[in-house]
Structure formats: C-alpha cells, structure tokens
Amino acid sequence: MLIPSIDLKDGAVVQLVQGERLAVRDDDVFRWVRRFERFPKVQVIDLDAAMGRDDNLPLVRQIAAAISCRVGGGIRTVERAREVLDAGAQQVIVGSSLFRDGRADLEFARRLRDAVGLERIIGAVDSRGGKVVVHGWKTPVELTAVEAVSALEPFCGEFLYTHVDTEGLMRGTDIRAILAVRDATARRVTAAGGITTMQEIDELDAAGVDAVVGMAIYTGALRLDGPQPPASSP
C-alpha cells in the first residue's frame, strides 16, 4: 500500500533532502490533503515539533478532521501522545523517545503502551550506516534496526522503518534492508526513505510492507492520478 506523506514546517508542506536541505515547499497544505483524501492512510509529520520549535497541532487537527492519518513528530511524553490522538490522529508515530542511553527505552515504551494502547503506537526506527539514529537522524544508537524492532515489538503495534541513507535522494531505496526488518518482527512494517517508483511500491506490497512516499510525489516524479503540477521549489 502506498501511504502519502505530509511533512509540516512553519505551517507549510515541505520536503527535505536527508532531513536538512529544503527541496520543496507549498503553503497550500489542503491542496495535498484533498489530493490524498482517497487514500486509507496518510502520514503526517510535524517537523517543527520534532525539532522542538513550537508545533503545528492546530493544523494537524484540521488535517485529521479531513483524512485518516497517523501523526508523528515531537512525541516525547505520554501526555503529548494523548494530545495528538485527541487531535484526531488514528495512531502516533514515536521515534527518539523510544531510545535512551544507547538502547531501547523499554520502560517508556511500556508506559506509553499501557496509556494509549498497543494498536495506536507506531514505533519509528530510522537507520543510517547500519545503525539506528535519533534526534533528527543526528545521534547514532548502538543498535541495528533489526535489534531495535525485536526489542520494541511487545510495545508497538506497527513499525515505521526509514532507510535514512537514501531519504530524499530520489535514487530508490534498499529493499533488502527493509525486508530484514520485516523478517525481524511479527508486527506490520511500513517503509520510507527514497522510495521513488511504482515498481518499488509493488515489490514492497507483495512482501507485505507498506510504502511511505513523499519527495517522488511532490516533485511529480511519481504520478498518482493523472496530471498534477508539482509543488514549487523554495
């Protein structure tokens, strides 16, 4: 299944290369909300909240009222997870806060699961150079993605695996790395990071893995339903 991504920064939809360089910005957020409303799942990431620079919660609330979405970015506490779910998110995507002192923070993961329910938690496991990375993909953790999902499986109803090495580069993703994560857990796995073509999406779908796509959609490289002008570059 293809899951479109809406990344929010300063009230606009953006796409970043490797999580840093701005490649696409569109102030018309609801142009994309309308375009994605036929999809059963849409991923919304609040980059401002993730970076600790305020948040886009009022905008998230409007988006969640219009489409079924999973929301991540800056969910560091049980209280914040509840706030995002109360805003209308179907599930919360939790990443950096699931790791502490170089390993999986099972105590926090357990508290979060007990508070909001296993099925509402998507554990975000991001990998760069073969190791999990946190804090905006800047801090490495001495765990592989396979080790991380194995440890966190009792506390997450699903996993989002991002292959950071290929994120935003429009050169394809690493199918083998994604399948290794899939094979390490009984939970549903969604993959992200450089997925560019329908061939990749179909290959992942055949393997039981959902695909989050952002840059390829916004640049017009991947057409969803006929002619659509790409979002403007900054």
Question: Could you state, in order of their start, the residue ranges of all structural domains in the chain?
Answer: 2-218
pTM: 0.94
DSSP 41: -
Residue closest to 224 by CA, chosen among 9, 69, 55, 36: 36
To the nearest 10 degrees (0 to 180), the angle between helices 57-66 and 29-36 is 30
pLDDT, residue 116, reads 98
| pLDDT at site 19 | 87
Q: What are the mean pLDDT values of the chain's consecutive 10-residue runs (234 residues total)?
A: 97 93 96 96 96 92 97 96 96 97 96 98 97 92 97 98 94 96 98 96 98 96 70 63
Q: What is the pLDDT of residues 156-195, one digit of tens each?
A: 999 999 999 999 999 999 999 999 999 999 999 999 999 9
Q: Tell me the two tokens of residue 30.
A: 């609801």
d(CA 206, CA 222): 19
Catalytic residues: 7, 126
Give the model confidence (pLDDT) of 66-83 as tens digits. Answer: 999 999 999 999 999 999
Residue ranges of alpha helices (H) inside the chain are 29-36, 47-50, 57-66, 78-86, 106-116, 145-152, 175-183, 198-206, 215-218
Pick the CATH number of 2-218 from 1.10.3720.10, 3.30.420.250, 3.60.15.10, 3.20.20.70: 3.20.20.70
DSSP E strand boundaries for 114-163: 121-128, 131-134, 139-141, 158-163
